Chains A and B, each alone.
Chain A
Amino acid sequence: MSPATHAPKAFEHIELAMGTGFSFHGRSPLSDSDTSIILNQACAILHEADLIFSLYKPESPLSRLARGETSVAECPPVVNEIWDACEAWEKATEGWFSAFTPEHTFDPSGLVKTWAAERAAEYVLERGIIDFTLNAGGDIMIANGVTEAIDWRMGISKPVSIASDDAGILTVVDLHRTPFRAMATSGSAERGSHIWNPKAAGKEPAKEFVQVSVIARDLVTADVWATAAFAEGERAIEHLNRIDDIEALFVYADGELAATNGFINLFAK
């Protein structure tokens, strides 16, 4: 550490966007005002993604696409990019992640939140803030430059609503000295069953797990596999064991736990 280095200053920035909370937490070597400007601009990326992809906003390009009023070609180029990404992920997950709803519309919201979060985090990283974590509504990424041990550790909620009396911590994982930088959790605790089964007749949501937490090198990968594993049900344990650089913790409806083979090494000690 050279004597000329400014002492990093702790920051916390919470942004409500895309119907959830995004929290940047870390230390910045920049001035307070520069840090604040950078974080606000990063969050503009989240709001912009929301304007394009929200299916809750009737005039968003995605809503118009769902109603058949426009085509992908007429949408902003990013829609095409996400469409392609969704198709690639559908293939990679053997169909268990699907952005095509039971109503045959395109709903990439399973991907857009973490995709936008990653873009926002990249924006911050490129501007010299590298010591931070980002919690995107319960899905978490850790930047490579994180310096505090506590920031490498992430709690996993119990599979009950955060507003419930039983809410609490299921366990804690520690990603320090692992190749992993992200964790995403799928479950029915907060929003009811919002995942559909892309394979079953009638596309009923999978019911075997109440929660699946996936740990991966990046946030989108973790998010996609968490969604896919939740939809696939019990067979996802073996499925994820075959995928490189993925670990997962599963919670059954009866409270039992299961995990991929390497997950045991990730528990905080």
Chain B
Amino acid sequence: MQNSSQHPNSPYTNAVLPSKRKWKFGATAFSLLSIAGGLLVNNYLNPPVATTSITPIVNKPGVATKPDKTVTSDAIPYQFGTVQIAVTRKAGKISGIDVGQSSANNGRQAAFPILVQSAITAQGTNFTNLGGATYTTDAFKQALASAITKLG
């Protein structure tokens, strides 16, 4: 672990602790990213519902970059062990996630940390289409409306 500054009780980690859902490691890591990259996520949501008149926005100018920082999450017990991660933000983007203190007690996913790391790294890339479980027309229209709203 190479934490320049540790904030075990940082609001960044508290904000993403799973409370309602049993959505643990994945959510912790992914939510941390979405805090730093929340704006990008909104833009990512645009492509599948965009119409010809909408230009995808890659970076919104005028939004201040959040300061560089490394935070360590609480140790979160889960079904197969505990998860504790350190997340480094550099130039407003998640630049590293260290899952070194996590454990899995039944070996269900030996490749889990590298899988999660790769998945998170990939989040930072731009794309055209968003895939997911089938959207009903209602959800699709709702998403379309929300994307248009967000585009302002």
Of the residues B26, B27, B47, B140, contact of A137 by C-beta under 8 Å: B140
Interface presence of B109 (CB below 8 A): yes
Interface presence of A4 (CB below 8 A): no
Minimum CB–CB distance from B43 to chain A (whole Å) comes to 10
Which residue, B78, B109, B111, B130, has most C-beta atoms of chain A within 10 A?
Answer: B130
Interface presence of A61 (CB below 8 A): no
Number of interface residues, chain A, beta carbon within 8 A? 63
Interface presence of B36 (CB below 8 A): no
Interface presence of B7 (CB below 8 A): no
Cβ–Cβ contact B125 & A153, under 8 A? yes
Minimum CB–CB distance from B27 to chain A (whole Å) comes to 5
Residues of B within 8 A of A154 (CB): 127-131
Residues of B within 8 A of A186 (CB): 133
Interface presence of B114 (CB below 8 A): yes
Q: Residues on A close to B: CB < 8 A?
A: 11-12, 14, 16, 19-21, 23, 25, 113, 133, 135, 137-140, 148, 150-151, 153-159, 161-163, 167-174, 183-191, 194, 211, 213, 249, 251, 253-259, 263-264, 267-269
Which residue, B26, B79, B129, B146, has most C-beta atoms of chain A within 10 A?
Answer: B129
**Smallest Cβ-Cβ distance to A13: which chain B residue:** B52
Name the interface residues of B117-140: CB closer than 8 Å to any CB of A.
Answer: 118-123, 125-137, 139-140
Cβ–Cβ contact B22 & A255, under 8 A? yes
Q: How far is the CA of A251 from the CA of B21 in the complex (A)?
A: 14
Q: How far is the CA of A151 from the CA of B107 in the complex (A)?
A: 36
Cβ–Cβ contact A257 & B130, under 8 A? no
Minimum CB–CB distance from B150 to chain A (whole Å) comes to 12
Minimum CB–CB distance from B26 to chain A (whole Å) comes to 4
Cβ–Cβ contact A189 & B112, under 8 A? no
Cβ–Cβ contact B121 & A169, under 8 A? no
Cβ–Cβ contact A187 & B133, under 8 A? yes
Q: How far is the CA of A183 from the CA of B81 in the complex (A)?
A: 32
Residues of A within 8 A of B27 (CB): 255
